[in-house]
Chains A and B, each alone.
Chain A
């Protein structure tokens, strides 16, 4: 069975999502809403972790890709839905609605991926802070563009989006995202992402086309961010450009940093914990961001490698490991 171990894990994840969906009617609807947001945030965090964590390209534009996915998917179900649904079996057909939603999400993901390609191509020549600023600018541009498209609701955004998102879709997508990132990274091909992060010059010298790897990570990460955006739109039923600003990107970056860059399990845990924590802190409103920021400062000072980075086996003391460079 080892031959199919990875595929079985994915299948298990999808099955678990479905069982969760079957059990959903027995869960308090407030908590169900939060658990759905948890799943969406896990997808966002894991996909950003491919870009920021594994490939080391610091992107602050994840909310921009999420916005593209959210608007595309919402526009698909809102505008094309009424025309397409009768062909797919009507609004009463679960399969028809499912198919429409699937294509809406896919369209959102693909458009976000194309945006990732367009933005990533020229800007991935930049490194570190410069790339962060370019992606930040991109995220803001997206939100301004959506604010100025009247047919997409302008500043008011889109409302009345059908609530197609449920835990099956959400956790199914999360499972696929996690599978994709882990399957990639655990292959000779995918080790290239980490090589690019660790030392770009050495990676080039080993025959790795670093630009191509960076763009691949960017496109894949944006694709899943777009799908997560689509899920988000169909969960909260109303989206507006203010929901996808810089602060949203920061929130996702915090998941990644808190969980540990390039540590998928840690990033998942961070997304789960912080999403639930956010709900608990909702009572104190704006103070939430203060606590967030404070948490980040403390964490960077005490555990720069992330909350959830475990080390097994003996650690080599720095003193016993002289790395003189000539």
Chain B
């Protein structure tokens, strides 16, 4: 799956967003090919999550263009963008706390649902068949992530690490082509982080996904990503393979300050 950028999936061209006087992201160019695992790093407040919110339609860019699979997605609502095939997780976990683990994933099948309101009321043969097919798919997804034992637990009662993993499962249930992970390793201990890295690679391979990973933890990013883009004050200051980034003076400066450069 290292076909590189031969098949362009997501492309940001000159994306800028300003909040009043603050330019949160400035003229950002970023591209992700099919099957790529790209890291997006940068110090606190560099604009990483803002980039996620731009891609997923939570914010609209002030200037610039975002296209996915050849089509512009600027101006689309978040649920349309998910429909196109972009799924995300959240930096501060946003599960549906009162729904069970099972239902959290089930809800995410919404996009591929044939039955609507009237079917739910009539409860005919096709409706029941679809419901049980979805239930099976949900359970097999949960099995992959070893969450099937918690299927009936309310999401808010899940241990922290499991909540993070459930967010990934839920995002996968929308059947995306591109998965955006916003600091999936935040708050995890070193063992959990190693597990998570293996999991991300496994998921990417199994579901034939492209992944954009925002992460603070250098070990996680350097260990999983094929290519890394570095943001500082909303500007891309470097992009390249993990080794190039590690030795890039600008990056070291951004993270450690110029006295060390």
Contacts and interface: CB of A to CB of B under 8 A. Distances in A.
Interface string B94-137: 11111100010011111101011101110101011011001000
B121 A183 contact: yes
A207 B108 contact: yes
A198 B96 contact: yes
A191 B95 contact: no
Nearest to B154: A316
A316 B160 CA distance: 13
A188 B78 contact: no
B115 A195 contact: no
Contact of B94 (A3, A188, A202): A202
Contacts of B103: 191, 194
Interface stretch (A147-155, A278-286, A317-325): A317-325
Contact of A198 (B77, B88, B99, B113): B99
A193 B92 CA distance: 22
A179 to B, nearest CB: 8
A199 B106 contact: no
Contacts of B183: 326
Contacts of A199: 94-97
A184 B108 contact: no
A183 B110 contact: no
B66 to A, nearest CB: 16
A46 B123 CA distance: 20
Contacts, number: 124
A30 interface: no
Given A192-B110, A326-B92, A216 B170 contact: no
B187 A316 contact: no
A93 interface: no
A205 B108 CA distance: 9
A194 B96 contact: yes
A205 B176 CA distance: 11
Contacts of B108: 206-207
B92 A206 contact: no
A202 B159 CA distance: 19
The interface centre, meaning the residue of A3, A183, A205 with most chain B CB atoms within 10 A of its CB, is A205
Interface string A197-216: 11101111111111000001
Given A198-B99, A204-B78, A216-B117, A187 B131 contact: yes
Contacts of A322: 160
Given A183-B123, A204-B77, A188 B131 contact: yes
Contact of A207 (B82, B94, B96): B82
B93 interface: yes
Interface string B18-35: 000000000000000000
